[in-house]
């Protein structure tokens, strides 16, 4: 079954579930009327169905290669990218003054999810460019903005993100790339970066690298890191790509999946770079890109889940085994359970990602700190839960396909292999969970409490219409509140061992809330039936997770490294 972008579902969620009306009620986004948003999503969906989805398999079978130092991308990717760029899809939320559509990030997130569902490997390229656009918009000089933003926004040039080094992965502060002033306001960047997605590209006129490096005598750790823009070709006076910069792709990684996306080892050999933001402010500037990218990667996970789901559903509707009323395996209770589980989780993860985007849009439109705090709180949940759902859905997809799922021709395995990295890159899901219980609870749990207040108020209001479902969601929120209060009272070091179950429990409860809203909006339809399934079967997982969160840290840390090796 070919991928079909779920445009109608996005329209439903935006209109009824994730509070997007608050965004369109702001002056900044008054033009984003429901008709206009529906038209934009419909157009993006058509591109996904007709142009991007047909490229997905090619990206797996014929990934990018490096021939004599020259990168060659998957046949067809150049044309697919051109269609993305020409449609303006690189910068749906990009600034209008530099050529962007200026639409809410919520709409951009929906587009990102659909494009990732259609072709994850290709769409990673414009996704990284989007992050770079945002980082430059917030931290670059006017001169750099004027030169680079129009070209990145139009898709003429692409952007990358260079953090990782062999000794500096999750611990970015351990990086050692150097930046030495050239005396003319530019810097000479030297060092090796690994795992750089789309570190080269044969269908954009220039590749602009955002590179983290240290000035001579910089402080150790993250405080001594600065951010530099290092283009593959140095723009000449007219802004056109000029002489080649001193950098190269050393090799491409051989990966488990996502073969269409070249993952590069990069060597910077005194390459000319321009500082972005302040000296020592590299992490702050890069975080603008990373936060944008974290939500984007969460959307990648959900998109891949949707793709794997449609692919499995198509098979389940055709495959005959045993006797069922439908005549195919979709009639078997266990197959139905797997498919319903994925569909229900996709709604939960998609709604979390969209509501994170709504909070970001509201923060930008109103300047209110509460919205910014909500966005910050939801970002690690959107990233980790979205990608966990992506991985679990692709796994369920293989299972629904049975033995054929293990055979490459079916395509089920590609979803499984491609999506796996989304739980690792952009900060592993473990690091996301630590961010949630660490930095994001540093307000004493205020942002979490405000969210839980809203969930409880909403379930109170739903009690008259759907008493059992509303009561279950209210109760789950209350248990989560008690656990959150207890967690905030624990020393930071004790929180990390329970960070992952806490994040997942929070996502589960948020999922219950969004399912309840969907059921209220569609009380006799498929959304209500799916909500009943989620709330009675999947939401209870939070009880076990929160019991784990409440457990003392001592039991975990009592197991020594020697015990593990015994
Ligand atoms: C296909 C692919 C594309 C990528 N693209 C890019 C890119 O474009 N740009 C870029 O800069 N990087 C990129 N990366 C790198 C990616 O972001 C890192 O792999 C990731 O951040 C994890 O770092 P690491 O691989 O060094 O793992 P490690 O940091 O060594 O982690 C190993 C394990 O230890 C855990 N761990 C580490 N530190 C802690 C801690 N303090 N507390 C608890 N657990 C911890 C991790 O969660 C993980 O489970 C890419 C990676 C891949 C595989």
Res 290: pLDDT:
77
On whether the pTM is more than 0.85, the answer is yes
Question: Ligand 1 mean position to 265 CA, how many Å?
Answer: 15
Atom 2 of ligand 1, residue of closest alpha carbon = 195
Which one from 113, 300, 395, 426 is the annotated catalytic residue? 426
Atom 42 of ligand 1, residue of closest alpha carbon = 431
Atom 16 of ligand 1, residue of closest alpha carbon = 425
Atom 29 of ligand 1, residue of closest alpha carbon = 170
Along the chain (566 residues), what's the average pLDDT of each consecutive run of 10 residues? Answer: 95 98 97 95 98 98 96 98 98 96 98 98 97 94 98 98 97 96 98 98 98 96 96 97 98 98 98 96 82 93 98 98 97 98 99 98 96 97 98 98 97 98 97 97 97 98 98 98 97 94 98 98 98 98 97 88 96
Residues with CB under 6 A from ligand 1: 161-164, 169-170, 195-197, 255, 258, 263, 421, 424-428, 430-431, 434
DSSP letters for 206-274: EEEEEEEEE-TTPPSSGGGEEEEEEESEEE-TTSSEEEEPSEEEEEE---SS-TTS-EEEEEEEEEEEE
Q: Are 439 and 492 in contact (CB under 8 A)?
A: no
Concerning whether 426 is annotated as a catalytic residue, the answer is yes
CA 432 to chain centre: 12
User: Can you give 33-96 as a three-state secondary structure string?
Assistant: CHHHHHHHHHHHHHHHHHHHHHHHHHHHHCCCEEECCEEECCCCHHHHHHHHHHCCHHHCCCCH
Question: Ligand 1 mean position to 428 CA, how many Å?
Answer: 6
Other CB atoms within a 10 A radius of the CB of residue 196 amount to 23
Which of these, 540, 113, 526, 531, lies nearest to 344 by C-alpha position?
Answer: 531
Question: Ligand 1 mean position to 296 CA, how many Å?
Answer: 17
Please give the helix or strand (H or E) that residue 195 lies within, else none.
Answer: strand 187-197
Q: Are 266 and 391 in contact (CB under 8 A)?
A: no
The atom of ligand 1 lying closest to the CA of 197 is 8
């Amino acid at each position: 079954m070919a991928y079909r972008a779920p445009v109608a579902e996005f329209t439903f969620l935006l209109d009824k579930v994730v509070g997007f009306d608050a965004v369109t009620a702001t002056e900044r986004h008054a033009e984003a009327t429901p008709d206009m948003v529906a038209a934009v999503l419909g157009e993006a969906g058509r591109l996904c169905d007709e142009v991007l989805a047909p490229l997905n398999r090619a990206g797996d079978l014929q990934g990018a290669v490096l021939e004599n130092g020259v990168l060659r991308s998957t046949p067809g990717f150049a044309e697919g990218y051109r269609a993305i760029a020409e449609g303006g899809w690189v910068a749906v939320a990009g600034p209008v003054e530099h050529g962007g559509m200026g639409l809410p990030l919520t709409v951009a997130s929906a587009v990102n999810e659909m494009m990732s569902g259609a072709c994850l490997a290709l769409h990673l390229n414009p996704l990284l460019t989007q992050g770079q656009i945002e980082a430059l918009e917030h931290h670059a000089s006017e001169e750099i903005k004027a030169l680079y933003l129009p070209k990145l926004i139009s898709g003429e040039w692409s952007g990358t993100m260079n953090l990782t080094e062999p000794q500096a992965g999750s611990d970015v502060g351990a990086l050692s790339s150097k930046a030495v002033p050239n005396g003319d306001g530019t810097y000479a960047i030297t060092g090796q970066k690994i795992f750089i997605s789309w570190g080269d590209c044969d269908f954009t006129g220039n590749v602009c690298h955002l590179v983290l490096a240290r000035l001579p005598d910089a402080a150790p750790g993250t405080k001594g890191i600065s951010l530099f823009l290092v283009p593959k070709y140095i723009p000449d006076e007219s802004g056109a790509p000029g002489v080649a910069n001193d950098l190269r792709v050393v090799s491409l990684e051989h990966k488990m999946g996502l073969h269409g996306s070249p993952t590069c080892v990069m060597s910077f050999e005194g390459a000319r770079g321009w500082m972005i933001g302040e000296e020592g402010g590299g992490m702050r500037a890069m975080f603008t890109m990373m936060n944008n990218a974290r939500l984007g990667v969460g959307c990648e996970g959900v998109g891949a889940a949707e793709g794997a789901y449609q692919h499995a559903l198509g098979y389940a509707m055709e495959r005959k085994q045993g006797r069922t009323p439908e005549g195919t395996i979709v009639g078997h209770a266990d197959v139905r359970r797997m498919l319903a589980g994925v569909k229900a989780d996709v709604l939960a993860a998609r709604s979390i990602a969209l509501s994170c985007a709504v909070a970001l849009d509201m923060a930008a439109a109103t300047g209110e700190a509460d919205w910014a705090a909500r966005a910050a709180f939801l970002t690690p949940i959107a990233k980790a839960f979205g990608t966990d759902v992506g991985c679990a859905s692709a796994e369920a997809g293989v299972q629904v396909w049975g033995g054929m799922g293990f055979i490459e021709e079916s395509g089920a395995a590609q979803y499984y292999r491609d999506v796996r990295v989304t739980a690792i890159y952009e900060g592993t899901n473990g690091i996301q969970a630590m961010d949630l219980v660490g930095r994001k609870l540093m307000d004493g749990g205020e942002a979490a409490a405000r969210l839980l207040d809203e969930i409880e108020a909403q379930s109170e209001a739903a009690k008259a219409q759907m008493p059992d479902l509303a009561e279950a969601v209210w109760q789950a929120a209350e248990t989560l509140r008690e656990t959150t209060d207890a967690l905030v009272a624990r020393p930071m070091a004790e929180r990390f061992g329970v960070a992952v179950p806490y994040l997942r429990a929070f996502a589960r409860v948020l999922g219950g809330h969004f399912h309840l809203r969907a059921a209220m909006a569609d009380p006799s339809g498929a959304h209500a039936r799916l909500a009943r399934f989620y709330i009675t079967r999947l939401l209870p997982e939070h009880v076990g997770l929160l019991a784990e969160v409440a457990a003392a840290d001592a039991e975990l840390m009592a197991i020594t490294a020697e015990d593990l090796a015994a």
